[in-house]
């Protein structure tokens, strides 16, 4: 949860700063002790204000319009602005603050049931008992004897299966930054950076052991070991998708292109990878979900 909040704080920074230092900031946060975390939050909040208010020179400028540019280029309409005026960052910040305060005030008034303010609120519906007269005598007890039975939520069953599965798979644990058992578009996009963290021996690639295979190499013959490693990588959909050349390892090139590989698992094309798209088919069948 704390990590997720910190990611959101990093995400609010201007894009150039976030792209350049976001990974390092998150890595530093991961290395810090629990006691130091509040200080990291305060520091990130201060950094956020500093980046937006005091560092306009590091933010990408809007597309410049050349003064001598032709009015039409290859028949495409050209839009030009005559002024380069941009509001001061401090004004934007104060405006945002004022908007938040105003909305909070309105919400507070509505919450407290302020009778005076209600006529001024747009869209408030005043119920009028005279509009739809209800004859309660027409309702009899026999009208209410229908029983509605709801079956178990199928997605809850997937989540129940996904929890231990995500825990046992370091790759999914690393990818699922906010621990919600779903890989969001941002988490998929961040996959190369997340996967590099698993590279314990810094050889640039991920072996089945770094991906979560627990097996003592001395306890099985080499031929069987190779077979087991290969089977491990092909059994889990996420690993099979990442290992595009099926050589039983995730190479540095495959790590670099991890986001594209993972998106192939998105069967319903909603941009998210959910438990039913990540859990091995056999495991789901065994749990009675397929």
Partner 1 sequence: MKPDPDDYLPLAPATLHILLSLAGEPMHGYGIMQEVLRQSDGRYNLGPGTLYDNLQRLMKRRMVEEVAGPAAEESSRRRYYRLSQLGRGVLSQEIARLEDVVHEGRARLRALKPRRA
> Where do contacts with partner 1 occur on this chain (CB under 8 A)?
17, 20-21, 23-25, 27-29, 31, 39-40, 42-44, 46-48, 50-51, 55, 57-58, 193, 196-197, 199, 202-204, 252
Could you tell me which residues are beta bridge partners of residue 183? Answer: 273
For residue 190, the minimal CB distance to partner 1 (Å) is: 11
For residue 12, the minimal CB distance to partner 1 (Å) is: 12
For residue 162, the minimal CB distance to partner 1 (Å) is: 27
Tokens 């590099």, located at residue: 196
Nearer to partner 1, 55 or 263 (CB): 55
Taking a C-beta distance cutoff of 8 angstroms, is the pair 251, 227 a contact? no
Nearer to partner 1, 26 or 238 (CB): 26
For residue 273, the minimal CB distance to partner 1 (Å) is: 22
For residue 62, the minimal CB distance to partner 1 (Å) is: 20
For residue 205, the minimal CB distance to partner 1 (Å) is: 8
Judged by DSSP in three states, 77 sits in strand
Taking a C-beta distance cutoff of 8 angstroms, is the pair 250, 195 a contact? yes
Nearer to partner 1, 173 or 192 (CB): 192
Nearer to partner 1, 6 or 165 (CB): 6
Nearer to partner 1, 161 or 255 (CB): 255
Which string of b and e fits 160-185 if b means at least 16 CB within 10 Å? ebbeebbeebbbbebbbbbeebbbbe
- Separation between Cα atoms, residue 257 and residue 244, nearest integer Å: 10
- Separation between Cα atoms, residue 96 and residue 103, nearest integer Å: 11
Q: How far is CA 224 from CA 24, 209, 220, 236, 257, in A?
A: 40, 15, 6, 19, 30
| Residues with Cβ within 8 Å of residue 71, at least 6 apart in sequence | 78
Nearer to partner 1, 33 or 147 (CB): 33
- Separation between Cα atoms, residue 26 and residue 157, nearest integer Å: 32
- Separation between Cα atoms, residue 234 and residue 132, nearest integer Å: 64
Query: Which among 142, 210, 200 has a CA at the least distance from the CA of 171?
Result: 210
Nearer to partner 1, 9 or 240 (CB): 9
- Separation between Cα atoms, residue 100 and residue 92, nearest integer Å: 12
Nearer to partner 1, 13 or 229 (CB): 13
Taking a C-beta distance cutoff of 8 angstroms, is the pair 241, 228 a contact? no
For residue 54, the minimal CB distance to partner 1 (Å) is: 9
For residue 57, the minimal CB distance to partner 1 (Å) is: 8
């Amino acid at each position: 949860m704390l990590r997720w909040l910190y990611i959101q704080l990093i995400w609010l920074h201007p894009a150039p700063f976030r792209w350049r230092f976001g990974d390092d900031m998150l890595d530093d946060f991961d290395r810090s002790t629990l006691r130091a975390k509040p200080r990291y939050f305060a520091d990130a909040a201060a950094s956020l204000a500093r980046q937006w208010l005091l560092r306009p020179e590091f933010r990408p400028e809007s597309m410049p319009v050349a003064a001598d540019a032709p009015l039409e280029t290859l028949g495409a309409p050209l839009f030009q602005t005559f002024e380069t005026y941009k509001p001061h960052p401090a004004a934007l910040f104060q405006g945002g603050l004022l908007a938040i305060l105003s909305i909070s005030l309105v919400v507070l008034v509505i919450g407290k049931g302020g009778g005076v303010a209600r006529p001024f609120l747009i869209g408030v519906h005043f119920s009028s008992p005279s509009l739809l007269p209800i004859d309660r005598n027409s309702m009899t007890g026999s009208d209410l004897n229908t029983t509605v039975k709801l079956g178990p939520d199928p997605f809850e069953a997937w989540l129940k299966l996904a929890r231990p599965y995500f825990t046992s798979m370091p790759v999914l644990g690393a990818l699922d930054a906010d621990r919600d058992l779903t890989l969001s578009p941002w988490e998929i996009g961040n996959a190369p950076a997340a996967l590099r963290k698993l590279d314990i021996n810094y050889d640039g690639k991920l072996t089945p052991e770094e991906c979560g295979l627990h097996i003592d190499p001395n306890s099985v013959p080499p031929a069987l070991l190779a077979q087991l490693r290969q089977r491990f990588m092909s059994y889990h959909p996420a690993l099979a998708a990442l290992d595009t050349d099926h050589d039983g390892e995730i190479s540095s090139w495959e790590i670099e292109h991890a986001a594209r590989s993972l998106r192939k698992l998105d069967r319903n094309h909603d941009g998210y990878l959910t438990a039913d798209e990540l859990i091995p088919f056999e495991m789901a069948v065994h749990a009675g979900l397929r």
